[in-house]
Structure 1
Amino acid sequence: MAQSVIEALLKSKIGLDANSIGAEAIASAIYQRMADCGITDIANYLGKLQVSSHEWEALIDSVIVPETWFFREPESFAFLKHYVLSEWLPKNPQGVLRVLSVPCATGEEPYSIAIALLEAGLNPTNIHIDAVDISNKCLVKAQRAIYHQYSFRSNSRSFQESYFQPTEAGYHLCEQVRCMVNFLNDNFADPAFLADTPLYDVVFCRNLLIYFDLTTKERTIQTLERLLSPEGLLFVGHAEAWLLFKTQLVSVRQHSAVVHRKSKAAENVRKNHHQSSETRLHTSNNIDVLSRRQLPKKNHSKFAAQERLNVTSQKPISPKDLKVNLLETVRALADRGRLNEAVKLCNDYLNQNQVSTEGYLLLGQVQQAMSENERAAQSFQKAIYLQPTHQEALTHLALLKEHQGDVDNANLLWQRIHRLTKDIAVISPVQYT
């Protein structure tokens, strides 16, 4: 009971959907905080949480898992540089480019933005970067600006040599870049978030919306619309693009970065660029052919249907007997119709392996077999967040959207799949901009 109250508090205060990270992960964070406080009864911990702002902040720090590194998804920063040089700078030769990074976590993203803009040729006096996060612990690390090798993974290291000084504590970012970023502590789920702030030309808000409940998603999208200047750019995560379809934010067609532009005439743009009903029907028929070639029929799940949960004569399955890893045990349970056990074991695995693409994909498949479609969609979105080019996760999510009647967002996902698939004839995509 007390845990459900804490989950409700997290939802009301920071918009966190417990299903997005799993009740087990929240429970693990709660019990770790109880141990740190020397509290053994969860009801007593709830009482402390309700009167202590310090403990509330500590719980948030335990629940959120900042996953970031320098120049993550480098195509986004390449597009930012192109936009600044080709469009913004010619129109604003003496202006100040205003950029927002939220959530900024431990600072790698806003500092990457600053470096990208410097390398585009902008003067620091013409750049204003606000970086916002709900975690004071993350902000302290960001302002310290000392990083270890893990923060430089999957990147060309030339910028590391140019902007960082090796020290015994780690790689220390140069003062010029540190001074370009203004760090702020604020709650994006608050309707008054940055209410009195001038508009931004560019906003990076990547991989945050997927953790919010539906009401907070809708409210924060409205906040993003409010914060963006006319024609301003919004960068989001691959798993979040579908959330912006029916908004003022119109997709910008380019290669890999997920970019949207604020437009007062967004609805007219969509109408002008949508296919005719005849062309859309032709595209849908082609998509049906593709889906039949790629996935099994029926509910597109590898697992037994929900009614097979009634099986009671099965003996417990031991990972040692199967001689396979934990995820294979989950698959074996699911194949035998023991879906509740499979979900529990998969969540146990993900609590210890929070960046496992295959784990979230498998969890989504099991949840879909149980007809828990909303939870399945969230699991597939997490898999896509961790690996944006994962075709199986994209395909499962696209089929799920079609099943739910969300044809527009399903088509957006199919377009991404078509661009990733080289051995299947290319289907002409629907143009949205």
Structure 2
Amino acid sequence: MTQSVIESLLTQKIGLDANSIGCNNIQRAIERRMADCAIANITTYLEHLQKSSEEWQALIESIIVPETWFFREQEAFAFLKNYIQSEWFPSQPGRVLRVLSVPCSTGEEAYSIAMSLLEAGLSSTKVQIDAVDISKHCLRVAQRAIYNKNSFRGSNLCFQERYFQTTETGYQLCEQVKSMVNFIHDNLAATSFLAGIQPYDVVFCRNLLIYFDSATKHRTIKVLEKLLTPGGLLSVGHAEAGLLLNTKFIPVRYPGAFAYRKPAVSPFSLQFSSKTVSKNHRASDQEKPIPDKPSSQVTVNIETQNLVKDSQANFLETAKTIADQGKLDEANQLCQNYLSQNPDCAEAYVLLGQVQQAMGQDEHAAQSFRKAIYLQPLHQEALIHLALLRENQGDVDSATLLWRRIQRMQKKV
């Protein structure tokens, strides 16, 4: 009973959904803190916790387990570089680019952003990067900027030689990149988060929303919207894309980036520059919203059915557009109808899984991702979605196996 009280307090303070990491993990964190405090009774520990802000911070540190590395989900950084070169330079000459990384953990993401901007051609004097985290320990590691081999994963590590120096204690980041990042201790779930700060042109907030309770998720999305300049870009994690379906954010079509744009005027008047994405991945024009059907049974209109018949590519684009408009039931029905005629389409199963996850049907989503993997065992997107879903459900063992499988695939590339 006392643990449930602590879990409720954690939700109030940092927005944590206990189910997202598992009650057993929270229990172990509490037991570690009780041992460190030489307290044998959990009720006594709760009393101590409520009186001590230092103990709250220590408990939060014990619960947070940072898992990050340089250029994690590298498509997001490739998109950032592309955006700077094709859109920022032509439209914002002389302006300082403001970027926010939250949570920044031990700094790998923020420094990856800095390196990407340098590679894009921006001078370090034309960039301001704020990196925020709730963990003081993580921030100390980030400010030290010395990393071990675990922070360098994948096969493309040319940046390591360019920006790091090998020392006895690890890999030391060069001063040029280090000086581009300003680290801040703050709590994204707090109502006072970055109060009074100047808006940012780009915000990275990846793999955090999945750990929040529903109320904090919705509140945080509104906070992120306020923190962005009109037309600013938001980058989220794979598992969080569905959370933005019913918001003002406009999805940017760039493979694997999961990027969204805050409308400059209205959601239907602003388009992402055609130069920003490759010829094969252009942003589609915004379609008019499809009216809700009065009947409880979802049907697909004739015009949409005709579009689906054109080709698999047209089907996927149409279904994605409908899902982005928040018409999840219709997108779900579209996928089901298409798969009844094309049962071997792995891409359709991946899209169906994303829609089902956005609808809160996690187990149905897992089944769809597994079907995609059965059809294409090396389908990386399906594997990543399933791994993140299992992480979100607290199934650490299954998620770990999937991540190892993904890493083995990446090493072979």
- Deviation, 1:288, is 3.1
* Cα pair distance change 1:391/1:142, threshold 3 Å: closer
CA distance in 2, matches of 1:222, 1:143: 29
CA distance in 2, matches of 1:114, 1:49: 38
Structure 1 match to 2:381: 389
Aligned to 1:266: 267
Is the 1:191–1:220 contact (alpha carbons within 8 Å) kept by the matching residues of 2? no
Match of 2:82, SS state, is helix
Q: What are the ranges of 5 or more consecutive residues in structure 1 without an aligned counterpart?
A: 301-360, 362-367, 398-433
Could you say if the C-alpha distance between residues 139 and 47 of structure 1 is closer, same or farther in structure 2, counting changes exceeding 3 Å? Answer: same
Distance 1:250 1:173 in 2: 35
- Matched residues in 2 for 1:165 and 1:173: separation? 7
Q: Contact (CA 8 Å) 1:96, 1:127: kept in 2 or not?
A: yes
CA distance in structure 2 between the partners assigned to 1:380 and 1:131 by the alignment: 37
Q: Alpha-carbon deviation of 1:141?
A: 0.4
> In the superposition, relative to structure 1, how do residues 392 and 225 fare at CA in structure 2: closer, same or farther (>3 Å)?
closer
Deviation track 1:42-85 (CA, whole Å, cap 9, x = no partner) reads 01111111111111111101111211100111111111011111
Matched-pair contact (CA < 8 Å) for 2:146–2:172: yes
Identity within the alignment, %: 55
- The alignment covers a number of residue pairs equal to 323
Distance change >3 Å, CA 280–CA 9, structure 1 → 2: farther
How far apart are residue 267 of structure 1 and its match? 5.4
Q: Which residue of 1 aligns with 2:323?
A: none
CA distance in 1, matches of 2:366, 2:66: 18
Rounded Cα–Cα distance in structure 2 between residues aligned with 1:54 and 1:187: 15
Q: Residues 392 and 90 from structure 1, CA distance in 2 versus in 1: closer, same or farther, beyond 3 angstroms?
A: closer
Given candidates 320, 324, 336, the residue that maps to 1:287 is: 336
2:203 maps to 203
The amino acid across from 1:105 in the alignment is S
Q: Which residue does 1:31 correspond to in 2?
A: 31
- Aligned-partner Cα distance in 2 for 1:115–1:187: 26
- CA deviation string 1:81-123 (max 9, x = no partner): 1111111111122110000000000000000000111111111
**Partner AA of 2:137 in structure 1:** K
TM-superposed CA distance for 1:280, in Å, is 3.8
Does structure 2 conserve the Cα–Cα contact (< 8 Å) formed by 1:143 and 1:183? yes
Residue aligning to 1:278: 302
Amino acid at match of 2:170: G
Judge conservation of contact 1:2–1:42 (CA < 8 Å) in 2.
yes
TM-score normalised by structure 1 residue count: 0.68
Q: Structure 2 CA distance, aligned partners of 1:55 and 1:291?
A: 56
1:5-404 equivalences under 5 Å are: 5-263=5-263, 264-266=265-267, 272=287, 277-280=301-304, 283=308, 284-285=333-334, 287-290=336-339, 293=343, 389-390=381-382
Distance in structure 2 (CA, Å) of the matches to 1:67 and 1:378:
24
- Give the C-alpha shift of residue 393 in structure 1: 5.5
Kept in 1, the 8 Å contact 2:201–2:229? The answer is yes
Amino acid at match of 1:389: E
Residues 110-164 of structure 1, C-alpha deviations (whole Å, 9 max, x = no match): 0000011111111111000000000001000000101001100114121101111
Contact 1:70–1:112 (8 Å) recurs in 2:
yes
Shift of 1:281: 5.0
Classify 1:103/1:392 alpha carbon distance in 2 versus 1 (closer, same or farther; 3 Å): closer
- In structure 1, C-alpha distance between the alignment counterparts of 2:366 and 2:34, rounded to whole Å: 28
For residues 374 and 215 of structure 1, do their structure 2 counterparts lie closer, same or farther at Cα, with a shift above 3 Å needed?
farther
- Any conservation in 1 of the 2:114–2:181 contact (CA below 8 Å)? yes
Q: Deviations over 1:245-297 (max 9, x none)?
A: 111211001111100000031156796355793344565455334279379xx
Instruction: Answer yes or no: is the 8 Å Cα contact 1:239–1:388 preserved in 2.
Output: no
Query: How far apart, in 2, do the equivalents of 1:392 and 1:181 lie?
Result: 29
CA distance in 1 between counterparts of 2:147 and 2:201 reads: 28
1:225 and 1:262 in contact (8 A); partners too: yes
Unaligned runs of 5+ in 2: 271-284, 291-299, 309-332, 371-378, 390-413
Structure 1 residues 62 and 50, CA gap change in structure 2 (3 angstroms): same
Letter in 2 for 1:67: E
SS at match of 1:234: strand
3-state SS of paired residue (1:191): coil
Report if aligned partners of 2:239, 2:385 keep a CA contact under 8 Å in 1: no
Is the 1:165–1:173 Cα contact (8 Å) retained in structure 2?
yes
**Contact 2:366/2:386 (8 A) holds in 1:** no
- The CA deviation at 1:20 is 0.6
d(CA) in 2 for partners of 1:90, 1:392: 35
Flag the 1:395–1:14 CA change in 2: closer, same or farther, 3 A: closer
The normalised TM-score by structure 2 is 0.71
